[in-house]
Structure 1
Amino acid sequence: MNVLLFENRFDAGLKLAEQLQIPDNAVLFAVPRGGVPVAYAVAVEKELPLDLVVVKKLPAPWNPEAGFGAMAPDGTVFWADTLGGRVSMDTVVEVGRKVLEEVKRRERVYRGSSRYPDLFGRLAVVIDDGFASGYTAARGASFLRWLQPERIWCVAPVCSEKALKVLREFCDRVFCLHVSRELPFAVASFYADFHDLTDEEVLAYLQDLRRRGLLLTEES
């Protein structure tokens, strides 16, 4: 049975920062929304720059908490063929359309007109509040590869054993404080407070990082 490990996402980020040894050339990429408080805590503790990689899972029609893939800001998709013929391709296309709309909206609200940075010679670190399937972080890592980082890490407080295996194919290192073999796996089960963050909460974290000189994205 899963046990509570963290009070909230910020607490998870602090615990992550305590255990994670990370080089000075790293750039952190939070997956919004849930990954932002986690990455914020790591950025502040380690004094490392932070950006966002706006990727989002493709929710399964029969269970919004489950995913069958994920989409990047450029509309490219990481596809896991787990639908098993349960829904039509028209439904899959409609799910993708809605997810892309939300990805573009988050890009506009959180990153404004900022371009993603050149990562040549840098370590890119994708951070989320947990890796359930690993699909979202995998899509984020694949998207960041185009920016030519030296290495890519995927980091989270908790992850499933399945996600660990998936992400090892996309990242140079996967680091999780707790790897769970329990099924079904739910990231929320490890947190006392796992509320859905609002745009306002995300923007407040970003504004504080900007004040500290740790935010890479510019004002739109």
Structure 2
Amino acid sequence: MTFKDRFDAGVKLSEVFEFPENSVIFAIPRGGVPVGYAIAKTKKIPMDLIVVRKLPIPGNPEAGFGAINMDARAILNPAFDALFSQIPVEEIAKDVLNEVLRRNDLYRNSRGYSSLKGKTAIVVDDGFASGYSAIAAYEYLKKLHPDKIIAIAPVCPKETKKMLENYFDEVYCLIESENKPFAVANFYDDFHDLSDDEVIDMLYDLRKENLLHE
């Protein structure tokens, strides 16, 4: 099974996943935004962004050794323990944090988050690979005191889903893959790198339809 693009993946997710009442979607930019956007439009659920970003391995930027959130909280993957003494972890984290804050400023005008008490936070991405971006999102959102935090994506490895279940109240992936090596891009016909303008256009459209959670 493959998806035409991220919008198609979001529509397919919205058709099968039962969203609790008082849900708020928190899409991980950039790739998670069209997935969350399609769900928000289809199910009329408000959406916001949760800006986190993977920490790339030098020389292999598609791979990450963890992720960082807007609190500067770096979540490191212990599978790379042997690598940490060989790479400038703090320098990489600082550079990535600057990009996280830039995106939060550009996409959200650096506005704060309101309490999520009485609501369910739904973390959405175009796929969970290692899962550490989702964990970084979880660590940020839990301080807003939602009743539940759920993670959903079109695709993820089975082992990643199992790992994420140690954090989230529920984890759902439309496709649970056993492929090794795993790559989210392999499940999409169109998996282009989104631009800032594409993200901003989707947020603008959600605001017009009163579907932007602010």
Q: Separation in 1 of the partners of 2:91 and 2:85? A: 10
Unaligned regions of 5+ residues in structure 1, if any? none
Partner of 1:17: 14
- What secondary structure sits across from 1:58 in the alignment? strand
The structure 2 residue matched to 1:130, chosen from 113, 127, 130, is 127
Q: Which residue is 1:49 aligned to? A: 46
Give the TM-score, by structure 2 length. Answer: 0.96
Structure 2, unaligned stretches of length 5 or more?
A: none
Q: 1:82 aligns with which of 79, 82, 88?
A: 79
Alpha-carbon separation, structure 2, partners of 1:170 and 1:188: 25
Identity among equivalent positions (%) equals: 49
* Paired residue type of 1:168: E
User: Quick check: 1:161–1:181 contact (8 Å CA) kept in 2?
Assistant: yes
Matched, 1:110 2:107: yes
Amino acid at match of 1:52: L
**What secondary structure is seen at the aligned counterpart in 1 of 2:163?**
helix
Q: Is the 8 A contact 1:24 1:48 kept in 2?
A: no
> How much is the aligned-residue C-alpha RMSD, in angstroms?
1.2
For this pair of structures, how many residues does the alignment match?
214
Q: Of the candidates 61, 84, 91, which is equivalent to residue 94 of structure 1? A: 91
* TM-score, normalised by the number of residues in structure 1: 0.94
| CA drift at 1:83 | 2.6
In structure 2, what is the Cα distance between the partners aligned to 1:196 and 1:188? Answer: 11
Answer yes or no: is the 8 Å Cα contact 1:135–1:166 preserved in 2: no
Cα distance change, pair 122–99 in 1 and its aligned pair in 2 (3 A): same
CA distance in structure 1 between the aligned counterparts of 2:87 and 2:194, rounded to whole angstroms? 30
CA distance in 2, matches of 1:117, 1:167: 25
Q: What secondary structure, in the 3-state scheme, does the structure 1 residue paired with 2:144 have?
A: coil
Q: More deviation in 31-40 or 70-79?
A: 70-79
- Do the aligned residues in 1 keep the contact of 2:58 with 2:87 (CA within 8 Å)? no
> Offset at 1:87?
5.2
Residues 83-92 or 96-105, more deviating: 83-92
Q: What is the distance in 1 between the residues matched to 2:45 and 2:161?
A: 25
User: What are the superposed Cα offsets for residues 94-114 of structure 1, whole Å, 9 maximum, x if unpaired?
Assistant: 111111010010010011032
Q: 1:35 aligns with which of 32, 35, 38?
A: 32
Q: What secondary structure sits across from 1:85 in the alignment?
A: helix
Query: Partner of 1:194 in structure 2?
Result: 191
